[in-house]
Structure 1
Amino acid sequence: MSSSDDTGVSDTSQQLDEFLNDIKAKYDALENKSQVGIYGGGALAALWLSSAVIGAVNRLPLVPKVLELVGLFYTGWFVYRYLLFKSNKREL
């Protein structure tokens, strides 16, 4: 490794240390630490549930293609409505 790579790694390591110390200081300043755990657990549960729902919808044969078609039509409408003409660009 060259010295410039070592500097980049040490800068990243230093930034990570500063970030972790900042997070630790903010956590230590909290009065109700159990509430943070409850919210964090709820966020993880919501993430897992949304991932499961998206995976189930993705397995249905027609739904992904229909959603892709809807996305293409919306993109086309957006380009026509806001990006194609100069007067509409100002509106955006």
Structure 2
Amino acid sequence: MEPEVKQDAGASEYNAENVNVTISTDDSGTLANYSSTDASSEQWRQIGEKISEFLSDLPDYLTDFFGEYKRPIVTVGLIFGAIVAVKLLLAVLDAINDIPLLSPLFELVGMGYTAWFVYRYLWKASNRQELGRDFNVLKEQVLGKFD
């Protein structure tokens, strides 16, 4: 079944110029039949079936998982979103802070607002009571009224 390679009798050394190669196809055989019951192909077929079954049931698994763990997933998502928002805010503030005249201007505005807030709400006792009432009204609006 193997092809025969014949070399000229006159070529005593291996030279590319002196080599003649003859391929004989007289005893050509038939191709071996491929057996589909081979153990490795059967294992691959079973693995493929399991993967296909898992992928077809994946929406049901995800629905059950999300239904069971909805609250923790939402909590983790909110925490992740808050972290991203804080990092984005800090990046924007850092970029604004790099502008030469804006940083001292923002510091002056902040100090001015702090001075106004102290004068308006914290200097006198009556104003502190007004701030407490305003804070309680805001708390009731946000959280609801407690009995």
Higher relative contact order at CA 8 Å, sep ≥6: structure 1 or structure 2?
Answer: 2
TM-score normalised by L of structure 1: 0.50
TM-score normalised by L of structure 2: 0.34
Instruction: Give the number of the structure whose residues are more often helix, by fraction.
Output: 1
Q: Which of 1 and 2 has greater Rg?
A: 2
